[in-house]
C-alpha cells in the first residue's frame, strides 16, 4: 500500500513537472529568440581573448622557424651576430 502511494506521488510530481515545462515552453522560446536577435552580429572573441594580429599569429612563428633552420645550417652563427649584421644594414631584430 505504501509503495503504491509513493509511486503515485512520483507520478504526480512528474506530471506537474511536464505540465510546467509545456506551459513555459513558448515563453522560453520567445526569450531565446529575443536574445539571439539582440546579439546578432556581435563578434565574440574565442575563449575570451581578442584575436592576435596576422603578423603575430603567422609571421612571427614563421620567422622563428626560419631562424631555427638557419641556426641548424650554420651552427657557428648566433642570434647576437645576426642582430649586429641586421643593425648594421639598418634593420632591427624584434623578438
Please tell me the pTM assigned to this model.
0.40
Query: Domain limits of the chain?
Result: 52-88
* Whole-number percent of the chain with pLDDT over 90: 38
How does DSSP classify residue 7? H
Please give the backbone phi and psi of residue 49, each rounded to the nearest 5 degrees, phi first: -115, 150
Of 11-15, 45-49, 73-77, 88-92, give the range with the top mean pLDDT: 11-15
Q: How many CA atoms lie within 13 A of 34 on its CB side?
A: 6
How far apart CA 17 and CA 41 sit, in angstroms, is: 36
pLDDT of residue 48: 43
Amino acid at each position: 500500500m505504501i509503495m503504491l502511494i509513493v509511486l503515485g506521488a512520483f507520478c504526480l510530481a512528474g506530471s506537474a513537472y511536464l505540465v510546467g515545462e509545456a506551459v513555459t515552453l513558448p515563453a522560453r522560446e520567445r526569450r531565446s529568440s529575443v536574445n539571439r536577435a539582440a546579439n546578432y552580429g556581435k563578434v565574440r572573441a574565442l575563449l575570451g581573448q581578442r584575436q592576435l594580429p596576422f603578423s603575430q599569429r603567422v609571421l612571427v612563428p614563421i620567422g622563428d622557424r626560419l631562424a631555427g633552420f638557419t641556426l641548424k645550417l650554420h651552427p657557428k652563427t648566433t642570434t647576437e651576430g645576426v642582430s649586429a649584421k641586421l643593425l648594421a644594414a639598418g634593420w632591427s631584430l624584434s623578438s
